[in-house]
Amino acid sequence: MQSKIDITEFRKRLSKNTLIGNPNINGTPLVVLSLLYSSDHKFFGRINGNTFEITKHSTFSPIPYILKGKISSEIDSKTRVKYIIKPIWFGYLWIRIIPIIFALFVISGIISNHDLIFPLGIFGSIIMLMFIHNIYRIERRKRNFEIDFKMMFEIT
């Protein structure tokens, strides 16, 4: 992909909008431990010259994805941008594994006490709907993260 801005402006915008830190931690539930580091930066991650790893900067609603990219200068004051969005291992598993563990807990509760079939069934159904909604919301936030990145750096 190509950015309409030159490489120095790209680096300047990236530095201005990125809080430096480990993006693998910011995309997991462990980000709540960093309440002291809240700021107005749009991204959180590492910048190393022509390479970068960023994620959306959010304390209470992180997305479990990292945008890894590389930039290079082109003619006509444009910048070539190559990037890929990859899942953060722990954050991605957290979203997928916790509901499965909860479902096993509900099923074991139903098996051990037949009087709780109806309440646990309703409760489990509500939790599973919340799980499905959360997966949809995370995917939507991933798309919005990529759109924000493209708009900020004028990538076409």
Domain borders along the chain are 2-152
pLDDT above 90: percentage of residues in the chain: 40
Q: What's the rounded mean pLDDT across residues 33-42?
A: 68
Residue-wise pLDDT tens digits, 79-138: 999 999 998 887 777 777 877 787 788 778 777 877 777 887 787 788 888 888 888 888
Annotate the chain with three-state secondary structure: CEECCCHHHHHHHHHHHEEECCHHHHCCHHHHHHHHHCCCCCEEEEEECCEEEEEECCCCCCCCEEEEEEEEEECCCEEEEEEEEEECHHHHHHHHHHHHHHHHHHHHHHHHCHHHHHHHHHHHHHHHHHHHHHHHHHHHHHHHHHHHHHHHCCEC
pTM of the model: 0.80
Q: What is the mean pLDDT of the chain?
A: 85
pLDDT at 52: 96
CA separation for the pair 150, 22 (Å, rounded): 22
Of the listed ranges 9-13, 47-51, 83-87, 89-93, the least confidently predicted one is 89-93
pLDDT at 38: 61
pLDDT at 68: 97
Res. 36: pLDDT tops 60: no
pLDDT at 91: 77
pLDDT at 109: 76
CA separation for the pair 42, 16 (Å, rounded): 9
Assess contact for 51 and 72: CB atoms under 8 A. no
pLDDT above 70: percentage of residues in the chain: 92
